[in-house]
Amino acid sequence: MENLRKMQVFEPAYRYIDDGKEHGILSPFEPGTRVLPAGYQVDPRFLPIPVDIVFEKDVAVTLRDGVTIYVDVFRPVGTEKVPVIIAWSPYGKSGGTAPRTTVLYDMLGLKNSMLSGLAKFEGPDPAYWCAKGYAVCNPDARGVAHSGGDISMIGRQEGRDCHDLIEWLAVQDWCNSKVAMSGTSYLAFSQWFTAAEQPPHLAAINPWEGLSDAYRDLSMRGGMPDLNFTKRLQVNHVGNGKREDVYEEALRYPLVNNEIWEDKIVKFDKITVPAFVVASYSNTLHTAGTFRAWRRMASTEKWLRIHNIQEWPDYYEEANKEDLLRFFDHFLKDIENGWETTPRVRYSLHDFQGGDRVNLPADQFPPKEVSNQKFYLDGRIRNLLPTVPANEIAVTYDTESEHGLASFGIRFDKETVMVGYPKAHLWVEAKGSDDMDLFFMVQKLDRFGNHLQQFVIPNQGSMMQDFSERGASVLRYKGANGRLRVSARHLDEKLTTDEVPAYTFDRVEKLQPGEIVEIELDLFPMGMIFYPGEQLRFVISSRNDLGAIMPGTPGFVPQNKGLHIIHTGGSHPSYLQLPVKSI
C-alpha cells in the first residue's frame, strides 16, 4: 500500500457547492433524525413515499484509519430489526434530485416520477425498499462532499471503506445484522471490490452492470488509451480534500503490470458471497466487466440475468424490483420463497425488430446447447465459409481513406440463434506503420442488407438519433463489438480460454515491415436471432465507428497510418468463431 500511494496521482478535489440545488435538494449538511410521513414528496416532480420512513441524515461513521464519512439512512418506522442495502459510489448521497440526474433522465426519456428522489443516482429507492421492510444507506464516500480524507477512484480503498461501513451498520440497534449492496454502474463495480474484502456481515450483492477491471474496461480497452470517459467520471469527485487522478495515472502507467492497476482489478477468487448479477450485451462500458466477474467469481450461489434494454429502466422496472426482492428476502430475511429454484441463468435474444426474447432459462452461460463454430474469411467473395478457402487472398484497405474497413458476411437460410462469446482469429499485416488499432463489429442485417440497430432507452427522437449516430454507444445497440491494438496482442495463457481471449497488456510488440502476425480478438458476448434471409456481417475497421460511450464525451480517435492487410485462406485461415445454439 505504501508503494501504491507513492505512485498514485492526487489533485485538489472539485469544489462541493452545498446550496441545495447543484448536488440535490437534501445536500445541505444537517445532521439529525426525522420521520418522513407517508405521502411525503421531496419535490412535486417525484413519487410520494408510500409509508412512514425514519430519515437519519448526515450520520458520522468512523473508518479503520480514523477518517469520518457521512451517510444517510432511510429505514421503516417500528421496532422490528431490518436488513440494510448500501448504495456505494462517489456520487453525492442526495444526487437523485440533482439537475445532472434529472436532466439526464429527461434526455433519455425516463420519468423522474418513477422514483421518490430519495434514491442515490443509480441506486435503490428507499420509498420502495422501506415499504418492503428494508433500510437503505446512502453514503458519501471518502473525500466526497463533507466526508473526510482523499477520494480514491475504483479499487481496494473503496472496498475497505465499504467493509467498515457494513460492519458499522450490522451492529446498529435497528439492523438484523445482515447487509447487502445493490445498484448499477459505479454502484455495481464497487460491489466487486467490497465483496472481495469479505466483510463478515455482507449477506448478498446485486451488481447490476458494472466494470470489474479499470484498465481493461475503462481506461485502456484493447490496449488503447481511451481516457475521455475516465476524465468525465472524475468530475463527480467534489469535496474538501484531494481526488485521485486516474486519467493522469493512465498516461504515466500505460502497461498493466504495476501497483496502480493491480489495485483496480477485482480479486475475483475472493468473492464468495451470494450474488444476483444483471448484465446486458449492449453496454460498451459495462458488458465485458460484468460477464468477466460472473465467470470468474468464486461464489457458488450466483445467478445471472441478461436483459435487453439499458440498465436504468431495467433496474427500476416493477417486475425486476420484485425479482430482486425475492433474492434479498431469501438471503437477508431467511424467507423460504423458492428463490433457490430460480434458473441460474436467464438470458435474452435480440432480433432488432421488436421481437426480442427475454428471461430464457439456462443452467449456464453460454447455454449447454451452444457449440462454437468457425466461419472462415474468404477474401475473394467476402463471405464467411464453414471451411478454409483453398486460395490465400489478402484484403487491403487504406486507413487514411474514407473507406478504411473490410467486411465479410453470411446469409442464413433457416432460423439461427447465436448466444455466447464470439471471437475472431486473424492474420494481419501493416504497411507504412509499425502498429494497428483494429475495431470489430458483428452486425445483423435484414434480408435486404440493411444494418439493424436497437435503441435501449425510451427516447428514440431526432436528438437521440443525432447523439447515437456516431456515439452514445450505451444507448443504441449496433451489434457485438471489440477492439485491439495489435502491439498489445500478447495472450495471457492462464486466463485465455477457447471462448474468451485474455491479454496480458504488460508489453508492447511492434510490427516489423512485412511481418504477418496471428491475433485473437475478444468480442462482447452476444444473443441474436437471425431469421431466414437475414445476414451476419463481420466488420474490421481502422476507425472507432461506435464513438463515445455517452453524449457530451469525445470518442477515442485512433492514429492509424498506411495500409491494413487482412490475410485469408490457405496458410492464413482467418476466422470468426460464433456461438451457435441448436434449435
CA distance 488 to 470: 26
- Residues 376-382, mean pLDDT to the nearest whole number: 98
pLDDT band of residue 582 (cuts 50, 70, 90) is: confident
- Residues 230-252, mean pLDDT to the nearest whole number: 96
pLDDT at position 138: 98
User: Residues 275-333: pLDDT tens digits?
Assistant: 999 999 999 999 999 999 999 999 999 999 999 999 999 999 999 999 999 999 999 99
CA 94 to chain centre: 23
Count of beta carbons in the 10 Å neighbourhood of residue 209: 29
pLDDT at position 3: 87
| Percent of all residues in the chain with a pLDDT value above 70, rounded to a whole number | 100
Domain ranges of the chain: 2-342, 370-581
- Residues 564-573, mean pLDDT to the nearest whole number: 98
Phi, psi (deg, nearest 5) at residue 162: -70, -35
Residues 6+ apart with CB under 8 A from 212: 189, 192, 265, 266, 268, 289, 290, 292, 293
| Percent of all residues in the chain with a pLDDT value above 90, rounded to a whole number | 98
pLDDT at position 515: 98
Closest to 556 in 3D by CA, of 473, 466, 455, 441: 473
Contact 435, 542 (CB under 8 A): no
* Domain 370-581: CATH superfamily, name plus number: Galactose-binding domain-like (2.60.120.260)
User: Residues 346-362: pLDDT tens digits?
Assistant: 999 999 999 999 999 99
pLDDT at 1 over 80: no
Residues 6+ apart with CB under 8 A from 44: none
Contact 287, 350 (CB under 8 A): no
- Residues 501-525, mean pLDDT to the nearest whole number: 98
Strand partners, 409: 383, 537
Mean pLDDT for the chain overall = 97
Query: Three-class SS of residue 100?
Result: helix
pLDDT band of residue 167 (cuts 50, 70, 90) is: very high
Strand partners, 55: 34, 74
Phi, psi (deg, nearest 5) at residue 244: -75, 130
pLDDT at position 2: 76
| CATH assignment, 2-342 | 3.40.50.1820
pLDDT at position 475: 97
